[in-house]
Amino acid sequence: MNPLPVSHTPKAVIYCRISSDKTGAGLGVERQEKDCRELARRLKMQVVEVLSENDTSAYSGAPRPKYERLLEMMRSGSIDAVLALHTDRLHRSLVELEEYVNASEQGSVTTHTVMAGPIDLSTPSGRLVARQLGAVARYEVEHAIERVKAAKLQMAQSGKYLGGQRPFGFEPGRTAIREEEAAVIREIVQRVIDGDSFRAIAMDLNRRGITTTHQREWNALKVRNVALRPINTGIVRHNGIDYEANSPAIIPRDQWEDFLIAVQLNRTRSNHPGTFRKHVLNGFVFCGECGKKMVHKTKVSRGKKSTIVSCESGNRQTGGNGGCGRVARSVDPIIELVRQSIIYRLNSPELVSALHAQKTSAETLKELHAKQRAAEGRAQEVLDDYYVHNLLTREQFERAKVQADAALKAINERIESEYSHAVTSAIDLNGNLEEAWENGTLEWRRDLIALLIDKIIVHRVPRETGYKRPMFCGKWRFDPDLIDIQWRA
């Protein structure tokens, strides 16, 4: 019997995929292609294209461009068959299977697999088999995920290494402390407790030539992430629950608690307008005409430079609409007015007493953080009992979750309140306040302003005939009546 002409030889596309390629060598898809080419030879099919996707999961729902191209070729009728190692290389979702069945019917395309044989999607029985294989494949994936979760939980409960890249400060596999890196972590933690910012620490580490695990330079986020890892203090955190690590700690637990409080205090202070800015009033001053926040600008008059606050008619950051553009004022007399007003108010024994009463202690914050971790652990245990261990009914789960979430919310609100009070702890309200202001840092002054003042409103200079701005402190033509200080306390 004479062979069919080449033009009548069925055209096939080979589709290969592996979910995880840790080495990046692509050996898995190469083996699949080899087996599929052998299948094509037995079926006397011509392979017109090979579509390979490395390190791509069919279960996760991540985009698979080569698979989409395969469906397009099937719908167009440009191929006669699809060759794959197994149906689970094509799809592990029943939704994807239905889309594949439709494409097969539309283009009259057959499917052949090395391991499961031919899949005839043109008949009800063939589609039933395909759906059964898809359901089995999905079960296998879900069962594998549950096994991995259970193994991870068991490892965490034993304090073992959960995998991933080598943690900075530890040897590979967390088998021991790497002392030269651990010393850097200890330094970071103590400097944050002493008041340094992550950004300042990053710049110092780079200047000294100290690099990250990957021999890269530091930035504030990298410093923060390395310093805040619970493993530094001997804690393995898994799904929000803390377990005792089986490796030694770099940071003692008491110092770790002080560090977490220092981090939160820095974050609380950064919520105040423009903390760590160039100007002491930056973010506090608002236009009395339109209510927009005013910006600091440099003004040159008769060869002399001075700083003013101005309502900008255009947004310099976005190019969009800004304020009315009709109010501007020299900033130095506003600062002096604010200074005098603060000192006058702080001379009130009642106000100082009220502010002192707001202060909170580090011990209170430590206790609250311990309760927060316990509440977070309880919330996660409820999830595990329902989703992982199947110990709760749906009704029991929903009731327990509502209770756990409410308890965690109450603790978080208490912590937020305590931290807002804790800002006052960094401000000494006793002694000579004028001297304290004179010698205080920019951050100290801004913390004090944020503690007492909500907004500083600058009103427009009157235009009526005869109005003349008075002298203020013998130095400025400035009307303090046009400044409205809105107090917090």
Residues 248 and 209 in one domain: yes
Q: Which residues pair with 235 in a beta bridge?
A: 244
CATH of the domain at 81: 3.40.50.1390
Q: Are 486 and 454 in contact (CB under 8 A)?
A: yes
Whether 425 shows a pLDDT value over 60: the answer reads no
Instruction: Give me the pLDDT at residue 319, please.
Output: 44
Residue 480 has pLDDT above 80, yes or no: yes
User: Could you write out the DSSP letters of every residue in 241-280?
Assistant: EEEE-SS--SS-HHHHHHHHHHHHHHHHHHTSTTTT-SST
Sign, CA dihedral 155-160-162-163, equals negative
Res 45 pLDDT > 90: yes
In this structure, the answer to whether residues 85 and 177 fall within a common structural domain is: no
Q: Is the residue at 350 inside a domain? A: no
Q: What is the DSSP letter of 167?
A: P
Which of 218-227, 354-363, 378-387 is modeled with the greatest confidence? 218-227
Reported as a single tens digit per residue, the pLDDT across 331-356 is 999 999 999 998 888 776 666 555 55
Residue 42, domain member (yes or no): yes
DSSP 152: H
User: Is residue 397 situated within a structural domain?
Assistant: yes
pLDDT of 130 above 80: no
Query: How much is the pLDDT for 125?
Result: 63
How far apart, in Å, are the Cα atoms of 118 and each of 48, 76, 83, 136, 464? 19, 21, 9, 17, 94
User: Looking at the domain assignment, is residue 235 inside a domain?
Assistant: yes
User: Which among 217, 249, 270 is the end of a domain?
Assistant: 270
Per-residue pLDDT at 24: 39
The verdict on 23 and 140 lying in the same domain is: yes
**Does residue 123 share a domain with residue 39?**
yes
314 in a domain, yes or no? Answer: no
Distance between CA atoms of residues 233 and 235, nearest Å: 6
Q: What is the mean pLDDT of the chain?
A: 79
Q: Please write the tens of the pLDDT for every residue from 5-17.
A: 445 789 999 999 8
The pLDDT value given to residue 108: 84
Q: String of b and e for 240-258 (b: at least 16 CB within 10 Å)?
A: bbbbebebebbbeeeebbb
Residue 479 domain flag: no
Q: Choose the most confident range, by mean pLDDT, from 62-76, 368-382, 424-438.
A: 62-76
State pTM to two decimals: 0.42
Q: Would you place residue 418 in the very low, low, confident or very high pLDDT band (cuts 50, 70, 90)?
A: low
Mean per-residue pLDDT, 16-23: 63
My answer on whether 190 and 125 are in the same domain is no
Are the CB atoms for 260 and 221 separated by under 8 Å?
A: no
Determine how many CB atoms are found less than 10 A away from the CB of residue 308.
Answer: 17
Average pLDDT for residues 449-464, to the nearest whole number? Answer: 89
Higher pLDDT, 116 or 319: 116
- 476 vs 244, more confident: 476
Handedness of CA 371, 372, 375, 381 (dihedral sign): negative
Look up the domain containing 30 and give its range: 6-144
Written as one string, the DSSP assignment of 10-64 is: PEEEEEEE-S--SSS--HHHHHHHHHHHHHHHHTT-EEEEEEEESS--SSS----
Q: How high is the pLDDT of residue 137? A: 62
Structure tokens at 474: 């013998």
Residue where one domain finishes, among candidates 231, 254, 270: 270
Check whether residue 112 and residue 237 sit in a common domain.
no
Q: What is the pLDDT of residue 378?
A: 83
pLDDT in tens, 173-194: 888 889 999 999 999 998 888 7
Q: Which of 85-89, 98-102, 137-141 has the lowest mean pLDDT?
A: 137-141
Residue 370 is predicted with a pLDDT of: 77
18 pLDDT band, cuts 50/70/90, is confident
pLDDT tens digits, one per residue of 144-173: 666 666 666 777 676 776 677 888 998 888
Tell me the pLDDT band of 430, cut-offs 50, 70 and 90: low
Residues 10 and 86 in one domain: yes
Instruction: Judge whether residue 473 has pLDDT over 90.
Output: yes
Q: In this predicted structure, what is the pLDDT of residue 310? A: 93
377 found inside a domain: yes
Higher pLDDT residue, 53 or 239? 53
> What is the model's pLDDT at position 196?
79
Higher per-residue pLDDT: 385 or 163: 385
pLDDT exceeds 60 at position 2: no
pLDDT of residue 458: 96
Quick check: is 178 in a domain? Answer: yes
Q: Quick one: 176 and 245 in the same domain?
A: yes
- The pLDDT score that the predictor gives to residue 25 is 40
> DSSP 3-state assignment of 447?
helix
Do the beta carbons of residue 11 and residue 80 sit within 8 Å? yes
Residue 56 has pLDDT above 70, yes or no: no
CATH of the domain at 180: 3.90.1750.20
Q: Quick check: 57 pLDDT over 70? A: no
Number of structural domains, the chain? 3
**Residue with the larger pLDDT of the pair 132 and 192:** 192
Going by pLDDT thresholds of 50, 70 and 90, the confidence category of residue 477 is very high
- Tell me: do 140 and 15 sit in the same domain: yes
Q: Which of 393, 426, 459 is the last residue of a domain?
A: 426
